[in-house]
Chains A and B, each alone.
Chain A
């Protein structure tokens, strides 16, 4: 039996996975509901395979993956996700998980993925492969923001007003306006609200 740990904060997924693994060579040995809990349980239950949801409280699946990779963890890790935005796709791709499965794809693919990663192979949902490629293209087609512009986008994302941004960056309010217009043109947004909403995607955090 292969011991599986699931980190996912949604109750419906946990009970459904338990059912799905019934009658297979996999056994659900633990369940974590946050990133922090996942790290603790990996040490406690010593699973053979870890399934990580991406959007979780107290550390996302990507944060957990990053920590495990840093710690030299070698057991197979599969990201199980309902959807990733561009920065998440790129971050996940850079961390090279053993598998990435979309919750919205055919559930049979999850079992297929688990089988493959146990054999030491990498299995990534074809849709994720395409979307990662597209995300990387979008990123490279965007004119690069200068460090100063990135700083400004971050402050707009935090909801600061021009006057406060100017004070933070030690420039005049007029300079902030000029910078903002250049950023609007570069990233193709029309309003400040749009920029604020896309801030985290633009600066990749």
Chain B
């Protein structure tokens, strides 16, 4: 367009006409080539952003020279880099571009100041135009900031699951809007009334109310309010302003009770709760905040939904742990006590028929003492905090190996290559039960009489190797038969099991994750 303009204007270009035409033609070719190269190529588009921006500014400088500065239709070339800076980046880059262009224009003007056609007044007016246009585009760049407001909210992510969800959602919204007072009212699925909290200058109070807050559906998404002037302002779907009277939208008694004055109301958008956010003390409150309010309603809702998800996961982990513990108690303690009562009955019958029962009683006593030790270590593990030192795990495992050696008449030895590590209770209980089952398999199916137990911490996992000298696992359809009960327990603990078996050496290698277990 610039090329056409100076071609039509006989007075231009004032200097070096053929070179200017050639230069502009080259620039046109460059622009077309860049457009073709970056068409649907976001990578190249981003890569070429800064170089092409500098080229645009350089072209502006050359044109200012060649078209005698202020009289040329240079505005076209001036707007291009400024607008692209405002669209691409933020207000700082736009301001820098504007400054560079004004300096270039000014320098061009001073260079040609001595020429015949120079008019000081027009030069000043045009400079003023440049400054006004720059200011508008810088303002445009500043108001793009809403899109980047949410970036700093990432810090709040780590608090999900640790902080009360409504308080966290409200803090997120207040931080994003720069508000110093905030209220969040929410009603959870299945609840009949709303509850929430209000934060004023850092202090928190809880509030309850029976009904919804906003009575007018047209103001449902987000709106600005001013209680003193009875005003409410929102935007329609077509971005037109909609004006309303606040007292018809929110019950005046409620406004008094919440002590509201001026701010933003936004509907909470969540899958698990419904409610409103009220933000006050927002500096530079403007109609742009209506759109921001809608986004904040979504962001606060997402915090609440994600918190609900985290607590559902925790609830599920706790339920699984309970089931797992119940199974352990059933598998070991209940079965043991049943066996013990069978023995007591047998001993009582033998005594009644006049047989000697001393040896049977001694055996029963030994079994009871052993089981007592097992139960004590089980209860100790439950009583301890969420994790225990590996030294304690090893100590318990060694004691268990001694008991297993006696129970199955084998040699069972524990060897450890573990550094300092904290072992979750669940993993501690699991490896004990896994060792019992692995040794039982080795003796029953493999007829082993030597078992070596190796324990090692590898990264974020605890590895348990149970190596025996038995005849090994059988094969079914060419693949090894997996130890069923071990596999089931390992799967439940989200671990992995590897089996290497040949006559004379079977290695059951189990890896259990240390994080995520409780």
A interface, CB within 8 angstroms of B: 9-13, 15-17, 19-20, 22-23, 33-34, 57-58, 82-83, 103-104, 106-108, 110, 191-194, 196-197
Bound-complex Cα distance A106 to B345 (A): 8
Report the minimal beta-carbon distance from A19 to chain B, rounded to whole angstroms.
4
**Are B346 and A103 interface neighbours, CB within 8 A?**
no
Kindly list the 4 A-B residue pairs having the minimum CB-CB distance in the complex, ordered from nearest: A12-B339, A103-B338, A16-B342, A107-B345
Report the minimal beta-carbon distance from A24 to chain B, rounded to whole angstroms.
8
**Are A197 and B339 interface neighbours, CB within 8 A?**
no
Verify if B315 is at the interface (C-beta below 8 Å from A): yes
**Closest residue on chain A to residue B335 by CB atoms:** A10
**Are B484 and A192 interface neighbours, CB within 8 A?**
no
Query: Residue A33 contacts which of B343, B346, B407, B444 (CB distance < 8 angstroms)?
Result: B444
Report the minimal beta-carbon distance from B339 to chain A, rounded to whole angstroms.
3
**Closest residue on chain A to residue B488 by CB atoms:** A57
**Closest residue on chain A to residue B190 by CB atoms:** A190
Bound-complex Cα distance A33 to B360 (A): 24
**Are A20 and B440 interface neighbours, CB within 8 A?**
no
**Are B484 and A58 interface neighbours, CB within 8 A?**
yes
**Closest residue on chain B to residue A33 by CB atoms:** B444
Contacts of B515 in A (CB 8 A): none
**Are B319 and A197 interface neighbours, CB within 8 A?**
yes
**Closest residue on chain B to residue A24 by CB atoms:** B349
Contacts of A22 in B (CB 8 A): 346, 350
**Are B355 and A23 interface neighbours, CB within 8 A?**
yes
**Are B339 and A15 interface neighbours, CB within 8 A?**
yes
**Are B350 and A23 interface neighbours, CB within 8 A?**
yes
**Closest residue on chain B to residue A109 by CB atoms:** B345
Verify if B156 is at the interface (C-beta below 8 Å from A): no
Query: Residue A83 contacts which of B312, B323, B334 (CB distance < 8 angstroms)?
Result: B334
Verify if B422 is at the interface (C-beta below 8 Å from A): no
Contacts of B312 in A (CB 8 A): 191-193
Contacts A/B (CB < 8 Å), 25 sampled: A10-B339, A12-B339, A13-B339, A16-B338, A16-B340, A16-B346, A17-B342, A19-B346, A19-B347, A20-B343, A20-B349, A22-B346, A57-B484, A58-B484, A82-B335, A83-B334, A103-B334, A104-B338, A107-B345, A107-B346, A108-B345, A193-B316, A194-B319, A197-B319, A197-B323
**Are A16 and B339 interface neighbours, CB within 8 A?**
yes
**Closest residue on chain B to residue A21 by CB atoms:** B346
Contacts of A107 in B (CB 8 A): 341-342, 344-346
Contacts of B353 in A (CB 8 A): 23
**Are A23 and B349 interface neighbours, CB within 8 A?**
yes
Contacts of B344 in A (CB 8 A): 107
Contacts of A108 in B (CB 8 A): 345
Report the minimal beta-carbon distance from A177 to chain B, rounded to whole angstroms.
10
**Are B345 and A12 interface neighbours, CB within 8 A?**
no
**Closest residue on chain B to residue A194 by CB atoms:** B319
Bound-complex Cα distance A10 to B337 (A): 12
Contacts of A192 in B (CB 8 A): 312
**Closest residue on chain B to residue A15 by CB atoms:** B339
**Closest residue on chain B to residue A107 by CB atoms:** B345
Query: Residue A104 contacts which of B334, B347, B360, B444 (CB distance < 8 angstroms)?
Result: B334
**Are B340 and A82 interface neighbours, CB within 8 A?**
no
Verify if B485 is at the interface (C-beta below 8 Å from A): yes
**Closest residue on chain B to residue A20 by CB atoms:** B346
Verify if B336 is at the interface (C-beta below 8 Å from A): yes
- Interface centre among B331, B339, B343, by most chain A C-beta atoms within 10 angstroms, is B339
**Are B330 and A82 interface neighbours, CB within 8 A?**
yes
Contacts of A19 in B (CB 8 A): 342-343, 346-347, 360
> Which residues of B328-372 are within 8 A (CB) of A?
330-331, 334-347, 349-350, 353, 355, 360, 367
Known interface pairs A11-B440, A57-B484. Does A193 touch B341 (Cβ–Cβ under 8 Å)?
Answer: no
Known interface pairs A23-B349, A23-B353, A103-B335. Does A13 touch B342 (Cβ–Cβ under 8 Å)?
Answer: yes
Contacts of B350 in A (CB 8 A): 22-23
Other contacts beyond A191-B312, A193-B316: 5, CB < 8 A: A11-B440, A19-B343, A23-B350, A103-B334, A192-B312
Bound-complex Cα distance A194 to B337 (A): 30
Report the minimal beta-carbon distance from A86 to chain B, rounded to whole angstroms.
16
Bound-complex Cα distance A82 to B344 (A): 17
**Closest residue on chain A to residue B322 by CB atoms:** A197
> Which residues of B281-323 are within 8 A (CB) of A?
312, 315-316, 319, 323
What 0/1 pattern do residues 197 to 229 of B give for CB contact below 8 A with A? 000000000000000000000000000000000
**Are A16 and B343 interface neighbours, CB within 8 A?**
yes
Bound-complex Cα distance A82 to B326 (A): 13
Contacts of B367 in A (CB 8 A): 12
Bound-complex Cα distance A196 to B137 (A): 58
Bound-complex Cα distance A22 to B338 (A): 17
Bound-complex Cα distance A23 to B351 (A): 11
Bound-complex Cα distance A63 to B72 (A): 96
Report the minimal beta-carbon distance from A102 to chain B, rounded to whole angstroms.
9
**Are B334 and A193 interface neighbours, CB within 8 A?**
no
**Are A11 and B484 interface neighbours, CB within 8 A?**
no
Bound-complex Cα distance A84 to B188 (A): 38
**Closest residue on chain A to residue B444 by CB atoms:** A33
Bound-complex Cα distance A33 to B444 (A): 9
> Which residues of B448-496 are within 8 A (CB) of A?
484-485
**Closest residue on chain B to residue A14 by CB atoms:** B339
Report the minimal beta-carbon distance from A132 to chain B, rounded to whole angstroms.
20
Report the minimal beta-carbon distance from B201 to chain A, rounded to whole angstroms.
38
**Are B315 and A12 interface neighbours, CB within 8 A?**
no
Bound-complex Cα distance A34 to B416 (A): 33
Contacts of A11 in B (CB 8 A): 407, 440
- Interface centre among B323, B344, B349, by most chain A C-beta atoms within 10 angstroms, is B349
Report the minimal beta-carbon distance from A75 to chain B, rounded to whole angstroms.
23
Report the minimal beta-carbon distance from B508 to chain A, rounded to whole angstroms.
16
